[in-house]
Structure 1
């Protein structure tokens, strides 16, 4: 990503929680590595006690929620840059496609790349790709997110 607007990655859990509307125990992102107007690189290390962990693996809904919260984190940082005092609330409006290729184990470090395809008013079409720390593809998705205004 050549147009990264972050001076340094945001790795503080407290700072991440300020940028997203979700709150513990339903937080599925813990880092923002890169940000540009249309792209982002986010991360999440899966804790064993995560609410969406089943039998030592991050569940399919967990992977999907992580991708959606990665978009939420992108939107939250954009709002911060625009001077908003709190993050905008949003939700998954629809999922065009999602493929989960493997369920990562607890302790795995996920990296998700989001790419905004287009935005119309409060609806954003976004694609996401999630990999593990070894670069193995975990999941891909194309979804619409809706911001509550």
Structure 2
């Protein structure tokens, strides 16, 4: 298992992802290796993907995709790239939503790169709530645009 390259969490992530407010669904990078990452997100009351005080299913999926984007953005910054590359969800192979987190709750998501061919990356993600309970899992392919 590769060693975490971060000495402390990164909480200023705006320059590491292409998304901008109000469509930002990650706020912390806790751990980083070349193939894995751990991200965080505290759900704001003004989030655009809320449903009756809870982050919606699409918000959870977007959070998992942006967790991968944050991993990629940090990887790019290590290589000297000033601007994060734009990407999008190409295919959602599987997704299982086991619970919806409420406003103010802190999420932690574990991403792992499974395969990478050219600009298509297959990634798995597991999101936990503050209690450490798994609330969402997915496997998706993301496409990076040069």
TM-score strictly above 0.5: yes
In structure 1, the partner of 2:144 is: 147
The CA distance in 2 between the partners of 1:110 and 1:83, in whole Å, is 29
Equivalent of 1:72 in 69, 75, 83 = 69
User: Stretches of 4+ moved more than 4 A in 1?
Assistant: none
The CA distance in 1 between the partners of 2:13 and 2:141, in whole Å, is 22
SS of alignment partner, residue 66 of structure 2: helix
SS of alignment partner, residue 17 of structure 1: coil
Structure 2: gaps of 5 or more residues:
none
Instruction: Report how far residue 94 of structure 1 moved.
Output: 0.3
1:7-59 CA-to-partner distances (Å, cap 9, x unmatched) read 21102xxx201000000000000000000000000000001110001100000
In structure 2, the partner of 1:125 is: 122
Structure 1: gaps of 5 or more residues:
none
Aligned length: 146
In structure 2, the partner of 1:38 is: 35
In structure 2, the partner of 1:29 is: 26
Q: Normalising by structure 1, what TM-score?
A: 0.96
1:78-130 CA-to-partner distances (Å, cap 9, x unmatched) read 00001001000000000000000111111110000000001000000000000
Name the one with the larger helix percent.
1
CA RMSD of aligned residues (A): 0.9
